[in-house]
Amino acid sequence: MPHNWSYCLIGDPAAASQTLSAATPNLSGLWLWSRAFREYGKDGDIRIIWRKEDLEEWDVIHINYTPSNIQLPTIIREELGDSSSTKLIMNVDLDISYHGINWAYWTPIMIKELKMADALFHVESVGARYIKEMIDHKKHVHTLPHPVDVSRLHDFKRVERENFIACIFHRYHPDTITPYIATKDLPLRKHLYNYDDKAGKFAASQGCWDMIIRSTTPMDYINQINKALIGCDLYRGYTFGRTVIEFVALGIPAVCSNTIEAGRYLLPETCVEPLNVKSAKEKLNLLLDNEFASDILIYAHERCGWYGLEQRHQEMIKILETIK
């Protein structure tokens, strides 16, 4: 196999448009793999393909495995066969704490489908161990976070900040009460980001927030949180933590859940149990001290590059090179 790999994610080609900018940060996460391979590999793209002649134009085919494409791996494997030089890598999508809800009726099929891959990964270690047990250790399940456009985010950060805290809403666990309790006594305005009316229902009412920002474009979101003095993400599920990485890359100190893997790696001194609002309050008040906040960011910034495009590309190549 070539050292300089070409890569294609099977997905909506329109998503690639969010990874094309060389001047501004690109959308964090799954879609950014194509950009990583364009910049540091031979080529990278996002396409809806399934025929052998199209698949074999690429060295690597990536499937983001979800309940909506339950039998796609078998389709791709049957097209490629077992002797193709094109390798199939798959990750299981979704927070593992939601696994039983999203996959409840599909688990036997899922186990069969996962065996179609040449390599498997999950974006955080709890999920990787979970999937490995599910498939009875038939394959190794790597831990491989999706890329974040760290270097461009860092170049984009502001020096001047505004007097508010940016709290992140998650539609998988639509809880606005916990971050409200944790932040309500801070001498800062409270802004809630990425709010989803359908997921949150009435949870953001009652005047708990100074501003509620609904889901918006990636660049508008970055422009908004880039003004924050402090960040807060008390997500109670398991995730690699793109929002925490974005906070750090933008120079924003933050408090986050210890179920967020990037939080444990980048911000160990300000990680808390997601429902421990007392501890979250204490950590947030510490971040009002400029010296403490600066020390936190220096440590985090030294490690943040691990999530960048070049390092993510290198880590996926290491996985691909283990395929026999």
Could you list the mean pLDDT of each consecutive 10-residue stretch along the chain, which spans 324 residues? 83 81 86 95 95 97 93 96 95 89 78 94 97 90 97 90 95 88 96 78 68 85 94 96 97 98 98 97 97 96 96 97 89
What are the residue boundaries of the structural domains of the chain, listed by start?
Answer: 6-147+308-320, 150-305
Options 3.40.50.2000, 3.40.30.10, 1.10.760.10, 3.20.20.70; CATH of 150-305: 3.40.50.2000
| Of 158, 168, 184, 160, the residue nearest 284 (C-alpha) | 184
**Apex 125 CA angle, 171 and 82, nearest 5:** 100
Write out the two tokens for 177.
Answer: 């009460």
Give yes or no on whether 6-147+308-320 and 150-305 have one common fold. yes
Q: What is the pLDDT of residue 1?
A: 46
Got the DSSP string for 192-203? EEEE-HHHHTTT
How big is the chain, counted in residues? Answer: 324
Q: What is the pLDDT of residue 108?
A: 86
Q: What is the pLDDT of residue 175?
A: 87
Dihedral angle sign, alpha carbons of residues 23, 29, 31, 32? positive
| Of 199, 200, 217, 198, the residue nearest 208 (C-alpha) | 200
Spatial separation of the C-alpha atoms in residues 24 and 40, rounded to whole Å:
18
Spatial separation of the C-alpha atoms in residues 190 and 186, rounded to whole Å:
9
Sheet holding 87-92, edge to edge: 43-47, 6-10, 60-65, 87-92, 119-122, 141-143
Cβ-based burial of 269 (10 A; exposed 0-12, middle 13-18, buried ≥19): middle
Place of tokens 């461009």: 152
Contact 186, 209 (CB under 8 A): no
Assign domain 6-147+308-320 to its CATH superfamily: Glycogen Phosphorylase B; (3.40.50.2000)
Whole-prediction pTM: 0.94
Contact 217, 190 (CB under 8 A): no
